[in-house]
Structure 1
Amino acid sequence: MSNSMSRAVTGRPAVVWPHIFAGFCASLISIGLARFAYTPLLPVLIQAHWFSASDVVYLGAANLAGYLVGALLGRPLAARVSNVTTLRAMKVLVTLAFLACAFPVSTNWFFVWRLLSGVAGGAIMVLVAATVLPHVPGDRKGLASGAVFLGLGLGIAASGTVVPLLLRFGLRETWIGLAALSAILTAASWYGWPRQTAPVAQQAATTPSSASNAPINILYVQYALMAAGLVPAMVFLVDFVARGLGAGASLGSLFWILYGVGAIFGPPLYGVCADRLGARSALRLLLSAQAITVAALAGASNHLLIGALTVIIGSFPPGIVPLVLARVRETVPGSAARQNVIWSRATTVFAASQALSGYAYSAIYNGSGGNHRLLFVMGAVATALAVLVDICIPLLLRKQANAGSVNTP
């Protein structure tokens, strides 16, 4: 443990670190593995004739649709049975979904279980920060959120390393192995959650109605565009390398490992940028870099160049989570209850955009004859728009305000 991390929990190591570990395992299981392990399996599912190419793409989008449902249901469910009970149940649900996917009874069967794994991911994303961070010292909340959401990055990396190893035993055995790993992490973190958490219903009731002001609405739009921007690489990168470039599934899995390397560094790197530059400036800088990188991927054919771009792109999905959380705290300082509600709404907006984008990209992919590069261009445009929204809308609002003051007698 580093000195900085040790100081983060000075005086409370036995209390805080189990909570952070429980949150880390939740993000690792429900999103890091449940969503991202599917990507390196996509070409294998097609080659093994479990499903057709078009079915596999839509089944991948089912997880994104479930994520939206989970984001909507997470807080109401927690209000009835508590945050901790909901979080535990969602981790169990992910484990069952992995096991069920080992048996491709039908396309509908597989769709339902992929959907349910997404529900668990959405509910956990809404609840995990609100459950863990109130028990972390105030000056270390950013560090703790980075540690919790590091599970996303490690899950991506694990999906690129563990999945190919499991595939040596067979496709069914791979799903069973993921279920076993999920069960172990669920059991290891079962008692790590805080014993008491603030009631969700009370938090919502104390939130002022002014939460949806202009800066927050801009953030919602930005987060929706970020979701649309990350889907093409997240879903289609391995298939692009394996089948689009004709490199094969093994090399495709290697590129997914590179994606995972970037994902590991994403949360701490983006957190440092937020601390040094401020969340808003960091968002503008990192979104601009991401848009340029994805646009470069759309035109790249050299494997070394694609590998370097992949590392940068991989940092984005897990990195933006603590960064947007920091932006919420920066925009609405000093009110944890209000921040929790805004974060819940932002997660729902993100999930809705991601689900719609997933199905839209799937339709475009099938309609264009499997044109991966077109999807990457669209992702780059969406990410660039997220930057422009934050620059242009405040300027327009200021011009309107100035015009109104001039016309006022």
Structure 2
Amino acid sequence: MTESGVAAGFLTLVVVMGIGRFLYTPLLPLMLTEYGLRTEQAGFLASLNYVGYLAGAFAAGPLCHRFREFRVLVAGLLISCLTTAATGLSTDFVWVTAARLLAGIASALAFVAVSGLVLLIVARDGRENLTGLYYGGVGGGIVLTGLAALPTARIWGAGGTWILFGAVGATLSGVVLLLLQRHDEPRHSAATPRATLPWHPRFARLVIAYGLEGFGYIITGTFMVAAANATVGPTGAHLAWVVAGCAALPSAFLWSTAARRWGRLKPLVVAFFLQGAGIILPAALNGAAALFAGALLFGATFMGIVTLALSEGASYAPTARARIVGLMTGIYGIGQIVGPALAGYFSARTGTYHIAIFIASATVAAAGGLLIPDAFAHEQARERR
């Protein structure tokens, strides 16, 4: 039973994150030509997607409390599949802008709702060790889109690829709903008091660090393929994205395993610093080797950071999981709004992504530095045990 809930969560992340969000990354170079986009417009579209993600994240907690997680998840999956297909129906910039905005809202609604359900299922069944497998769905989605997007686009173009993946997402969504029908979900009523958020200084630092991660990682997550084109060409650039996805697939489980031995915060700090190195490596050292090493480090850490940070946040108030996930996802979303817009601005002015990449790397490293005192505080370690 636990496994079916985790599998449903995995497939949800394939649909709303791997496809709904990250299909944009391998298709971006072709969209710049086929849709007639300028670089700053591409950055604006990515940022607008995260504006929607921010709005959806902050709305998801209250919506889950009022309508229950399963209904919010259904709405998120439906909107995500429709907007994925809609992105391919027209090259009009206003149309694409609206589709990407709604896609961001949908991905956040589904992510928060399914996270609340999966975290409840694994905690109820005493199977928290499976949480990392659930978050591996993002890596699975990246591998899927990374391997299939370019061959599909060669035949159907960028627009046809969006439509096809919308249909793929709809099929997977049907499987998700079938799997989750076997599980009870949290029951809420109007009279049920909303759990209080844990405004402890350590929790506040964790939330801030997570917001810095949202800013730093998304610059690479959005522009990796476009930036790598100049170094290794289209095929090599897509391969680098697949490498990142392959590294992400088992990473959440591996970081969760590390957390059971050393606690969550120490591995989280290590992951921040490794990701910072992975972001800056291709800019600091030109060449395919640096690019693929950076992609490997990036993929191996970004979902590990999500897993560790959200699990740590939820541990402060287990009865408020959906609210905490919604809050942290929203703060993460603020960083994601600023990151692509900044990268697009600097790349348009300088003709290179290097300045934005250096800023992104420094921001991620700063997030790790912010958590060092908490990670190595003996009293904090004792409290968590």
Instruction: Give the TM-score, by structure 1 length.
Output: 0.85
The 5 A counterparts of 1:331-350 are: 332=316, 335-350=317-332
Distance 1:393 1:143 in 2: 23
Residue type matched to 1:375 in 2? A
Q: State the Cα distance separating 1:105 from its structure 2 match.
A: 4.7
Unaligned runs of 5+ in 2: 380-385
Q: Which residue among 273, 279, 296 is the counterpart of 2:281?
A: 296
2:49 counterpart residue number: 63
Q: Which residue among 360, 363, 371 is the counterpart of 1:382?
A: 363
Q: Which residue among 148, 171, 193 is the counterpart of 1:205?
A: 193
1:166 counterpart residue number: 152
Matched, 1:82 2:82: no
Q: Which residue among 354, 368, 373 is the counterpart of 2:336?
A: 354
Matched, 1:309 2:294: yes
> Percent identity between the aligned chains?
22
Give CA-to-partner distance per residue, 1:362-393, whole Å, 9 cap, x none: 22332x32321111111110011112212368
SS in 2 for 1:205: coil
Distance 1:311 1:387 in 2: 19
The 5 A counterparts of 1:112-131 are: 112-131=98-117
The 5 A counterparts of 1:229-248 are: 229-243=216-230, 245=231, 247-248=232-233
Q: State the Cα distance separating 1:49 from its structure 2 match.
A: 4.3
Matched, 1:189 2:185: no
Contact preservation (8 Å) 1:31, 1:121: yes
1:111 counterpart residue number: 97
Instruction: Give the TM-score, by structure 2 length.
Output: 0.90
Residue type matched to 2:242 in 1? I
The 5 A counterparts of 1:279-290 are: 279-290=264-275
Q: State the Cα distance separating 1:168 from its structure 2 match.
A: 2.4
Distance 1:300 1:148 in 2: 34
Contact preservation (8 Å) 1:34, 1:94: yes
Distance 1:306 1:271 in 2: 26
Larger relative contact order (CA 8 Å, sep ≥ 6): 2
Change (3 A) 1:360 1:140: farther
Contact preservation (8 Å) 2:39, 2:344: no
Unaligned runs of 5+ in 1: 1-14, 399-409
Residue type matched to 1:197 in 2? E
Mean alpha-carbon deviation: is it higher for 89-98 or for 137-146?
137-146
Change (3 A) 1:394 1:270: closer
Residue type matched to 1:226 in 2? E
Distance 2:73 2:46 in 1: 23
1:9 counterpart residue number: none
1:178 counterpart residue number: 165
Contact preservation (8 Å) 2:31, 2:37: yes
Change (3 A) 1:73 1:203: farther
Residue type matched to 1:125 in 2? F
Q: State the Cα distance separating 1:166 from its structure 2 match.
A: 1.0
The count of residues paired between Structure 1 and Structure 2 equals 376
The 5 A counterparts of 1:220-259 are: 220-243=207-230, 245=231, 247-259=232-244
Give CA-to-partner distance per residue, 1:21-57, whole Å, 9 cap, x none: 2211111111111111110111111122442333222
Q: State the Cα distance separating 1:234 from its structure 2 match.
A: 0.6
Give CA-to-partner distance per residue, 1:264-298, whole Å, 9 cap, x none: 13211211221121101111122122222323222
Matched, 1:143 2:129: yes
Matched, 1:43 2:29: yes
SS in 1 for 2:178: coil
Distance 1:144 1:34 in 2: 24
Give CA-to-partner distance per residue, 1:43-74, whole Å, 9 cap, x none: 11112244233322221222211110110121
Q: State the Cα distance separating 1:92 from its structure 2 match.
A: 1.1
Q: Whose radius of gyration is greater, 1 or 2?
A: 1
Change (3 A) 1:156 1:201: farther
Compute the RMSD of aligned alpha carbons. 2.4
Contact preservation (8 Å) 1:142, 1:326: no
